[in-house]
Structure 1
Amino acid sequence: MKNNKYIINTIVIVLLSMFLVNCADDDNEGVFDESPAERTNAQKQELRTALQSSDTGWKAVYFTSPGELGGFTFFFNFLDDETVEMTSDFDDDFTVTKSKYDVVLGSTIKLSFTTKNDIHKLSDSANPPDSGLIGRGYLGDFEFLYYGQDEATGDLIFRTNRTQEEVRFTKATTNEVQNIIDSKAIALELTDSEKSVYQNVIVTIDGTTEVFDFSLNVNRRFIDISNDSDSYSFGIAYNEKGFTVSPPLEIKGQEISEFTYNVEADKFIADLGSGNMAEIAFLDAPSNPTDDNLVVVQPDNAYGYIDDFLFDATSSSSNFRALRNSVNEGLSPFDLSLSRVQFFFTIGGDETFNVIQYQLLSAVDGSIIRLNHFVTFENVDGKLILIDDGWSDPSLAPFVEAIDNVLTNSEGLYIKQENFTVRFPNTVFTFTSAADPSFRMTTYAF
């Protein structure tokens, strides 16, 4: 009897197992009724549909490498399954241009811009922002891995193929291209060295104010601020009202993520609420002057502006470049041009023996005329004052007076040893006029 019951129970278990297996098989048939290729194609089409779903196109702010570069704003409009039109604020060409794109399979579904357009300017290794990124360009990518759509905002979420930086496509406004154009005007307000090369950041939190020196690498869109106790670095991306900050700047527990340009005050302001704020303004003098004027006049020190390498340096102000052009216009009828401006201090240990040397290059035979302006110097209130002491050839002095008058102005020069290099490893010193802070000349130390 017990054996019969055992046999019956065993039969029931076996039948039940077979039933469950059959059910599982039925479920699997439902799950895998598409082949892997069919599922991939469906995911590709899903992204193509999403890209084409915005009637006004998409806006993307792309920070290629937040630790060393700022952001660039792009407008994309996906017209069909293979054509996109775009523009950006990378340069001053805002033409909306058509090119090709594709949606392909990488480690996940990937958006790939397959023919040349604005997005490729960021990945061009032959087009670096400065000498520090030669051979690397702007560290950008033109392939983006798709990670879905943000249900709350509708943003399309991507990560760059090579570096995994997040990039969001946000539905564009109807006037997005005009916003990009307007953002360039905002950039000029921040970078206008015709006002002054000096800017600072004034941060007021809980009634306490801190002042920071401000240094902007224009090409990198990257800012360094510092005072005697703290320093911060961050990238910026311009928009039609001001600029955003990445990574957000955190000072004394306050996060600063955006500055807005105030036209009336001619300042960029971040309103942090409760009376807390940060502002960026132009100054007539450095907020934290250095004593580098004492360094440069040490015995046998030499500093040189070399036109071939330093004319286009971002630290050479537009006013300096304009005066250099004025000098060359006067020299042009004689087939000469300014190739160098060099300073020699305390020659042979003699503090009265100092020279500003102007080297004039002949376009005819490549020879050099060395025009020496002998000077003495004083150091007063953090400024170097150069005092006329005669010329090696007074007849040539009028040809360089546009620059020389600034260098020998009685109000003096602010000298700064910079923390960057330009093309070569030489230490860089800048000479800025105290009388006209829109004049700044960049030199190499020798």
Structure 2
Amino acid sequence: MPAFSLEPAQTAWCAELRTLAADRLRPLAEKGEPGRVNRPLVAELGRLGLSARLFTSGAVDLCLMRESLAYACTEAETALALQGLGAHPVHAHGTPAQRERWLPGVADGSVVAAFALSEPGAGSDAAALSLAAERDGPGGSGWRLTGEKCWISNAPEADFYTVFARTTPGAGSRGVTAFLVPADRPGLTGSALDMLSPHPIGALRFDAVPVTADDVLGEADRGFRVAMGTLNLFRPSVGAFAVGMAQAALDATLAHTAERDAFGGKLRDLQVVAHQVAEMALRTEAARLMVHAAATAYDSGAPDVPKRVAMAKLLATETAQYVVDTAVQLHGARALRRGHLLEHLYREVRAPRIYEGASEVQRGIIARELYKEHTEHTEHTERAEHAEHNDLEAR
């Protein structure tokens, strides 16, 4: 299937998701407390079968879900995404016992998951993690986790955390291990952070928290692969979240400028307004296409996935910021009132440019992959020319 084309069944599913989000999820979201995990909303996502799809769908379906939910209810979209982010490492790298213990609860909405990577001193530089995993005694088979995590979505209310800790000091990304840490482990405490974005975010403190080999996700000292593999899947879907918000802002702007009287006509009759709306639509569609292309590349196992998903997240999140900001400008002061759709989107749209790799990090990834491709192409060309030269000499 081309990246720019959706099948009729997919289009119908997206429309169904928008309706579900508006009719069944938004009322639950409106009853939630900002900055707290909305467990009734998480449970409803489970009842609707959306949480279970996190473990059976590819990147394309994940992006379609996130864009469709974001259009009508950003809280539902974020709740679903956070479940996937926290639980995907268990699904992809967990032991049978780990998967059996935790994934059914995530799927039915009774268990809340969280992805604990960032630290106060290691946000964008994920390889600089300092949460220490020290061996539990001489020759011990377990570890004790000591340190802090910060900016962790669903903390401190999650039921379990996918935690990344340093098991080998001084080894950079090669000395990090991923652990599945239940929230009731002794020594694990947390606190909520009051953030601009309304979804739950907190800090975690580890005071010699015990973990064993049974808690490792994947292999010891190979946890950075677990983290990056998870982010490669979820980064294009962050872009899909952004596209959903941009589309909602665009549609609100179309309705407003078509109805609003100004300067002897409708706002849409002003060329400057019409051109701004056209630019909003152009950028939104371009971002959507790049998101779909990146998701298709991920599902097909393309070799350039890191570059594509970085491009998709970067373009889509920066685009959404532009579109929402322009929508606020065209609506005027009414868009700044508490409770207005655009006031809500204006607060929501800022964070995706930072989390799961800030825009600057994405640019770094893109440049690194481009130079890597250039070097590989150059070396391949030189080898081919050398072989041809030797062949001619042999003749």
| Structure with the higher strand share, 1 or 2 | 1
Higher RCO (C-alpha 8 Å, min separation 6): 2
| Structure with the higher helix share, 1 or 2 | 2
What TM-score range do you get, normalising by the shorter chain?
under 0.3
TM-score, structure 2 length as denominator? 0.24
Q: Work out which of the two has the higher radius of gyration on C-alpha atoms and give 1 or 2.
A: 1
TM-score, structure 1 length as denominator? 0.22
